[in-house]
Structure 1
Amino acid sequence: MNNTTLIKKNYLRIKYQKLIVVSILIGFLSAFLGISLKKTTAYYEEIFFNQASSNPIFFIIFPVFGFSVIYFLREYLFRKKENKGIKEVFESTKSKSNNLPNYKIPSHFINGLLTVAFGGSTGIEVSTVVASATIGAVAQRKQNVFKQYKTELICAGIAAGITALFSSPIAGILFALEVISKKATKTFLITNLIAVTTAFGLVFLLNEKPLFDITITTWHLRAIPYFILLGILAGMNSVYLTRCVLFFNAQFSKIKSHYYKILLGSLFLSICLFLFPQLYGEGYHAIKTIFANSHQNTISFSLALTFIAIVLLKPIVTSLTLASGGDGGVFAPSLFIGAFLGLLVASISNTYLSADIIPLNFMVIGMAAVLSASINAPFTSIFLVCGLTNNYTLFIPIMAVCFISKHTAQLIYPFTVYTYSSSLSK
């Protein structure tokens, strides 16, 4: 073995040793950030939601106050830069010169927390994704040896953050692969596997429980036609969500005054929260409530109208939240819409068609189906929802319905919020 070969082998060995160490650090820090944001947001969201439930005037005050604080923080602390969600990650991975600045970590953490806690109808998932991506980007910039692994280390942060939020390392890796990287290199697999293993280790040590504590025991072949119907409706609803987000972003971009955006968005959001408190924040409290009452197989006409109104209004209030300056994305809204849509389909089918299907199953499958179509990532959605419930009984119908919803959405409208935004940035 000549000296050149020996030097090259030593260099590769040192490089991979450093990648392993930095992947562990990225995994731990991203998971710690994700868990901290999840717990802090859940704590304050519950307090403020209970206050607003007792005194509905707070449904009007909280959104205006929360969006105003976010605006002033952006103006005086975060360099007057708006958070653009996952579009920021796409821009960074597609350009060697475009980096995620360090302040994006506290910016998305604080703004995501304030948005959801004060009633903004979105979730902390995208805030966590961008903040954890920034952790990976910061680590990549620290040493020249990591210069060529920008996308891999950013994806490692994202995969760890998703793992922490949903207790699913498979969903973490799949999201990084399906949505961000689009390709699995050797380095991608090494860094992301180490990062999600570290993240899941932290989740295990902290004894993090699944978000939804439910029991699913079986599913029936007679439900297949209704699964297909749910998949088609989920795809249609995901397109409706995407078009709402794009429409309101375009309309609000014409308003020059940021504070007019806040007032206009907050006003409509407040009215909707006053009428339908289920729309408050990420909506997981409302999902847990309907999970608890899912044993009721029939539905009244008035309750069906209420569910339809909630499913139709959620994309609008989510879009207004984002257009008004709130931090977040379509993750939590997709899960929310899917749960209510699944319950609606099952309950109406049981009441008027004597279908004898299990509403709980349709809620879980609906969550995965709408998310699959909204982010164009069926495999991520399958494992993410299974992780949320810590149950794989519905794996086969979830997989089938996720692909039906995804292809239905693509037939109607070829873009998602992510792909449309990234195409604009080219």
Structure 2
Amino acid sequence: MQNAFFILVLTLYAETFQDALLTFVKHTFFMKTIAAIRKNYNFIIFQKLIVGSVLIGFLAAFLGMSLKKITEHYESVFFNQASENKFLFVVFPAIGLFVIYFLRQYLFKKKENKGIKEIFESTNSKTKNLPVYKITSHFFNGFLTVIFGGSTGIEVSTVVASATIGSVAQQKENVFRKYKSELICAGVSAGITALFCSPLAGILFAYEVIYKKVSRVFLFTNGIAILVAFGVVTISKEAPLFAIDIATWHFRAIPYFILLGILAGMHSVYLTKCVLFFKSNFFKSKTQMTRIAFGAAIISMLLLILPQLYGDGYHAIHQVIENPNLVLTLTLALTFMSLIFIKPIITSATLASGGDGGVFAPSLFIGAFLGLLTALVLNTFFDAHLIPLNFLVIGMAAMLSASIHAPFTALFLVCGLTGDYTLFFPILLVCLVSKYTAKMIYPFTVYTIPVPLSK
């Protein structure tokens, strides 16, 4: 009887052990299968992110370089014609703004371009995307604004159009939906890289202005996009925008660099306030036609007085670079001061009346002449023995840093513009000074102002 009971217990135990063993084997196999599926799925996403980033980088670079080339060419043609016939300074801005208006009304769904704020609206929303027509809208509107004398630049137009390429890419693949911001930033990075021949400026702009955080996917996608974009730029043999021979800089100039940073920070707030003031007041006009007429009148009048303000103004910077041995006179000082203080007004009028663009090119323009004027004044009245061209370059970076609150973007962008890193440390110092000076006075930029400009 005891033996029979013992055998029964052993049998039940054996069956329980077999069941448990079988369950364990099944569970282990199931977990391995799940792990294998997850690994394969992640590998597929990894492959698709590579392909997507390569395509975004190539398309954004092609777009940026195309817009840059045709704008440079036609801006030069139109400006030369207007220089020979002053009446064209009156006609061109009105033509440009009216053409943009009709394109917007009948081709681009009656939607106004909001610049970089459109990117913020998309990255901050799970459902709102940048529609594909934004590529052509910003491309043509940015091009038309600059060649007809609108005093802004194509940089922001390129940024939004490039961001749209990234946005469209994430809409095409379901697996990309959760990487929306990263792919939009990849387009932005590639677009900036193509414009300024600086991969670091591209990815830093995407980080400092748009994304404002670091993730592995961000670094991966943006890294691939900027490398592709820079490859396209290198193959195309793009030269730096400003060929400046920078020999050296001196430690004794550091206090003067800091002074320039403070001046740039203060002036950037003036630029920001001008843009916000004009937009808020122009939007009170009942019709867009009234805004266009008023804006065109302001632009035309100022261009007649100061032709250097035409378009992005890079032609005026080139003229100064080609004549480095400037001597400060009353006329020259008044001209430079007029350019520095009137540029924000004409830029604001351009943007408020419907022109496409932002504060990138205006900041570089203002910074160049602010730096040059500062050096000439210090040399003339204080015998400072400064190198004016160094201050021109540093001024561009300082003003841009303060205007968009992105010192590292400004640093690498301006070094890319000149193709020279001799002034790396002075530029870094001044960019930090100008940014924090601007933030102390006014904590917002034209991109981050929280109050809506229109109803």
In the superposition, the TM-score normalised over structure 2's length comes to 0.92
Runs of 4+ residues over 2 Å off in structure 1? 421-425
1:105 is the counterpart of 2:144: no
Q: Is the 8 A contact 1:232 1:408 kept in 2?
A: yes
| Structure 1 segment 3-402 matched on structure 2, within 5 A | 3-296=33-326, 298-402=327-431
Structure 1 position 418, deviation (Å): 0.8
Structure 1 position 424, deviation (Å): 7.5
Structure 1 position 172, deviation (Å): 0.1
Q: Determine the structure 2 residue equivalent to 1:419.
A: 448
Q: Which amino acid aligns with 2:37?
A: I
CA separation in 2, counterparts of 1:261 and 1:59?
18
Specify whether residues 187 and 422 from structure 1 end up closer, same or farther in structure 2 by C-alpha distance, changes over 3 A only: farther
CA separation in 2, counterparts of 1:423 and 1:258?
18
Describe the superposition over 1:97-137 as per-residue Cα deviations: whole angstroms up to 9, x where unpaired. Answer: 11100100000000000000000000000000000000000
Unaligned runs of 5+ in 2: 1-30
Structure 1 position 369, deviation (Å): 0.2
Q: Is the 8 A contact 2:279 2:453 kept in 1?
A: no
Q: Which amino acid aligns with 2:86?
A: P
Q: Determine the structure 1 residue equivalent to 2:11.
A: none
Alignment RMSD: 1.1
CA separation in 2, counterparts of 1:318 and 1:97?
33
Name the SS of the counterpart of 1:216 in structure 2: coil
Q: Is the 8 A contact 2:246 2:420 kept in 1?
A: yes
Name the SS of the counterpart of 1:237 in structure 2: helix
Describe the superposition over 1:3-32 as per-residue Cα deviations: whole angstroms up to 9, x where unpaired. Answer: 000000000000010000000000000000
Q: Is the 8 A contact 2:115 2:157 kept in 1?
A: yes
Name the SS of the counterpart of 1:417 in structure 2: coil
Q: Which amino acid aligns with 2:262?
A: I
Structure 1 position 184, deviation (Å): 1.1
Q: Which amino acid aligns with 2:424?
A: F
CA separation in 1, counterparts of 2:140 and 2:284?
26
Unaligned runs of 5+ in 1: none
Q: Which amino acid aligns with 2:126?
A: K
Q: Is the 8 A contact 1:87 1:422 kept in 2?
A: no
In the superposition, the TM-score normalised over structure 1's length comes to 0.98
Q: Which amino acid aligns with 1:174?
A: L
Structure 1 position 164, deviation (Å): 0.2
Larger radius of gyration: 2
Q: Is the 8 A contact 2:280 2:453 kept in 1?
A: no
Q: Is the 8 A contact 1:252 1:261 kept in 2?
A: yes
Q: Determine the structure 1 residue equivalent to 2:437.
A: 408
Q: Is the 8 A contact 1:109 1:128 kept in 2?
A: yes
Identity of aligned residues (%): 66
Structure 1 position 295, deviation (Å): 2.6
Structure 1 position 421, deviation (Å): 5.1
Describe the superposition over 1:56-101 as per-residue Cα deviations: whole angstroms up to 9, x where unpaired. Answer: 0000000000000000000000000000000000000000111100
CA separation in 2, counterparts of 1:215 and 1:125?
25
Q: Is the 8 A contact 1:294 1:343 kept in 2?
A: no
Q: Which amino acid aligns with 2:287?
A: S
CA separation in 1, counterparts of 2:121 and 2:234?
33
CA separation in 2, counterparts of 1:107 and 1:341?
33
Q: Which amino acid aligns with 2:98?
A: S
Q: Is the 8 A contact 2:400 2:410 kept in 1?
A: yes
Describe the superposition over 1:353-408 as per-residue Cα deviations: whole angstroms up to 9, x where unpaired. Answer: 11110000000000000000000000000000000001000000000000110011
Q: Determine the structure 1 residue equivalent to 2:4.
A: none
Alignment coverage as a number of residue pairs: 424
Q: Is the 8 A contact 2:201 2:410 kept in 1?
A: yes
Name the SS of the counterpart of 1:204 in structure 2: helix
